[in-house]
Each structure stands twice: as C-alpha cells, then as structure tokens.
Amino acid sequence: MTLFILYQTDNWKTKSSRVFFGVFDSRAKAQDCAKYNRLQTNDSKIVIEEVTLNQCL
C-alpha cells in the first residue's frame, strides 16, 4: 500500500523547515488539500513524499 505525506517547506525545500500537514491515500488528495489550505505561495512550497506501507525488504 502506498501513502503520500504532505509537507509545507521553504523555497529551498530543506528538511529542517518542513511542516507536516497530513497523510493521504492518493497524490491527488494531497494536492487538493494543499490547494484548499493555500500551502504553496511565493515564500513556501509543498513536498509530497511517497511511502510504501507493509513492505519487507
């Protein structure tokens, strides 16, 4: 199962500036949430990280 984690970050997308906004089951839902909450501006960007759940290497 694939999950998508939504973060808001600065223009340089540093990990130390990330703010968590939610976990979603599709990339489209994460993007809709970011648009609804106006997370992407001139001073901030969004990062959607894809994570696989229940996977053994």
pLDDT tens column, 1-53: 999 999 999 999 888 999 999 999 999 999 999 999 999 999 999 999 999 99
Whole-model pTM: value is 0.89
Quick one: pLDDT band at residue 56, thresholds 50, 70, 90?
confident
Closest to 45 in 3D by CA, of 11, 16, 19, 4: 11
Domain boundaries, the chain: 2-9+17-49
Buried b (16+ CB within 10 A) or exposed e, 21-54: beebeeeeebbebbeeeebeeeeebbbeeeeeee
Element holding 34 (H helix, E strand): helix 27-36
Rounded CA-CA distance 55/57 in Å is 6
Quick one: pLDDT band at residue 55, thresholds 50, 70, 90?
confident
